[in-house]
Structure 1
């Protein structure tokens, strides 16, 4: 089959419609851009790559639209093309890890920080680019769970074709026969790849069902205290909001830190900011609470320092990924700087 083939029935429950003229292709296809971006992000771990691959998907689809016979939905057809575009792009490329995925033991907070620009790190994704807008609450929850940072990080441990099979089967709920057609393979090969992918994810003790996605009033109050604790550089307060097995990692630095005491010492001794030096501005990433942390400058203003993406367990912080890529601030719609009279909110 070709990447533009539409020989299968729609996997999204839709009814195949008569094929519209080629001039109507943009109107038919543009509504799927966000979910296709999420799909390519799950596959690649990079929001930059995902945007490029979605553009390539639409270009290929537009070029081959005259051959689309309407035997599947446009959505299903676009997902097939996007999956194959991703698989081609991933050939010969290393997976995108977080520091915990490098295989090294936890670091000591007193050790010198080492960074690597040679590693293509996993990137966070702004919610407006990847979070779905389904009307069904259950669908919204499912879509958000499938872009959670921990889940995307776990996917990166899988070979690309296993990753594609797991996403198509478990996230998009395609039938094995549909996946086999889309990936030009057999149902037996699909089922085998899915079994191996599940075994790999089970080692990480992670599935979509284990992710805590709710944000109630108690958790929001804790997040407010978390922001204040950084503004005050109150190490005891920060430590008190971490779970006993909390993890802190901060690409492109290769080390990672385990446990409240180690994390507290890291912030106390390695973070250059002092009291009233580190305001935070709230955002969301991967369906999770996130904050742009700013650092006071000699002139009193505040400049971007890192973007924190938090994973919560109950009313405590289980995991912090602090991304030291200040270019992320613009991508997340965060201010390029804060004035000297900015007050923590």
Structure 2
């Protein structure tokens, strides 16, 4: 018996015989990456959190089924994927439609920084990790039916072989390959037409300047200056509130209809979600004597113009690590 085989058998025995605290400690090492995997599947930070907890519970209860044919990490991914599919079947049997995802929630960059870093010799892995966490990807993938969605994420994001995906889903390799082709076609319908239409890459000076101009125009409540920053085909939505606006004129008309120009005094704090620039806005509340959370605006930027604005409600501020209030001078 080789050394690797003996070590594998030892690992399996240790895992099966571990008490609950020891088992949990092993599983917790993979918490962040499992959470991000569930988030891609579900589009909701809160649902992903619940599903990771369910994953760990199922893993503990089924630890005797871990046979060591795959790594402990891959075994957890299998359980997490099935937990996501179970939740979708129960709560969201139909995928998103119409280009918006009402259950979409942002993912804080500070938590994404906890993921294991790809090596310097893996630029493609770095690009995939970044692009597949952006909000445009999340919106597009939520338009896929659950099983093709799982196939796409397992194959194209995690890089699993078709054979392993087929085993997880209890399906044939041919069926998995067919589902992957359908999923890729579905993604093309909802993603920007060109790869360069992703925000992509590290934030450059041009992006920072555009975010600054967006922030300044918003604080001034200058709709005309804001309109000049938008691409003609810009998209704007505010989950979970229904109503996707497409096109500069529609977005501007919606801002005016909502009385944006008549808002009280605003302050802003720069932040980042889903590897995209974002701005947290605070509105002055006289009774509180402070600026209180209003919205978080996540921006997609292409070729020097804003191509999408996803506006999230004030309930997202605590998760994003943002101040719960700003004093009268507006400093965080």
Q: In the comparison of the two structures, how many residue pairs are matched?
A: 312
Distance 1:160-1:341 versus aligned 2 partners, 3 A rule? same
2:105 aligns with 123
**2:133 counterpart SS class:** coil
Which of 195, 200, 208 is residue 213 of structure 1 equivalent to?
A: 200
The 5 A counterparts of 1:225-244 are 225-244=213-232
CA-CA distance at 1:274 after TM superposition: 4.4
Q: CA–CA distance in 2 between the matches of 1:72 and 1:257?
A: 46
CA-CA distance at 1:265 after TM superposition: 3.6
CA-CA distance at 1:273 after TM superposition: 5.4
Task: Identify, as 1 or 2, the structure richer in helix.
Answer: 2
CA-CA distance at 1:206 after TM superposition: 4.3
Is the 8 Å Cα contact of residues 96 and 144 (structure 2) preserved in structure 1? no
Is the 8 Å Cα contact of residues 99 and 140 (structure 2) preserved in structure 1? no
1:246 aligns with 234
Larger deviation: 307-316 or 297-306? 297-306
Q: CA–CA distance in 2 between the matches of 1:274 and 1:261?
A: 19
1:114 aligns with none
2:11 aligns with 18
Which of 308, 311, 327 is residue 319 of structure 1 equivalent to?
A: 308
CA-CA distance at 1:172 after TM superposition: 0.5
The 5 A counterparts of 1:167-206 are 167-206=153-192
Larger deviation: 65-74 or 144-153? 65-74
- Give the RMSD, CA atoms, in angstroms: 2.6
Distance 1:162-1:17 versus aligned 2 partners, 3 A rule? farther
Counterpart check, 1:303 vs 2:292: yes
Distance 1:46-1:294 versus aligned 2 partners, 3 A rule? same
CA-CA distance at 1:331 after TM superposition: 1.1
Counterpart check, 1:159 vs 2:159: no
Which of 216, 224, 230 is residue 212 of structure 2 equivalent to?
A: 224
CA-CA distance at 1:254 after TM superposition: 2.1
Q: CA–CA distance in 2 between the matches of 1:206 and 1:195?
A: 18
Larger deviation: 21-30 or 158-167? 21-30
Any idea what the Cα deviations from partners look like across 1:30-86, whole Å, max 9, x if unmatched? 221111101111111111010011011111112222432322111111101101111
Q: CA–CA distance in 2 between the matches of 1:239 and 1:206?
A: 21
**2:100 counterpart SS class:** helix
Larger deviation: 120-129 or 219-228? 120-129
CA-CA distance at 1:275 after TM superposition: 7.7
2:117 aligns with 134
TM-score by length of 2: 0.85
Is the 8 Å Cα contact of residues 145 and 208 (structure 1) preserved in structure 2? no
Which of 11, 17, 39 is residue 41 of structure 1 equivalent to?
A: 39
Which of 71, 74, 77 is residue 76 of structure 1 equivalent to?
A: 74
CA-CA distance at 1:100 after TM superposition: 3.5
**2:293 counterpart SS class:** strand
Q: CA–CA distance in 2 between the matches of 1:16 and 1:186?
A: 29
Distance 1:272-1:199 versus aligned 2 partners, 3 A rule? closer
CA-CA distance at 1:207 after TM superposition: 8.2
Q: CA–CA distance in 2 between the matches of 1:149 and 1:235?
A: 24
1:59 aligns with 57
**Structure 1 runs (4+) greater than 3 angstroms displaced:** 15-18, 95-102, 128-131, 205-210, 271-276
Any idea what the Cα deviations from partners look like across 1:259-312, whole Å, max 9, x if unmatched? 334323433442345487222212221121112211122345212111211111
Q: Which runs of 5+ in 1 are unaligned?
A: 1-14, 103-119
Is the 8 Å Cα contact of residues 294 and 303 (structure 1) preserved in structure 2? yes
Q: CA–CA distance in 1 between the matches of 2:272 and 2:178?
A: 36
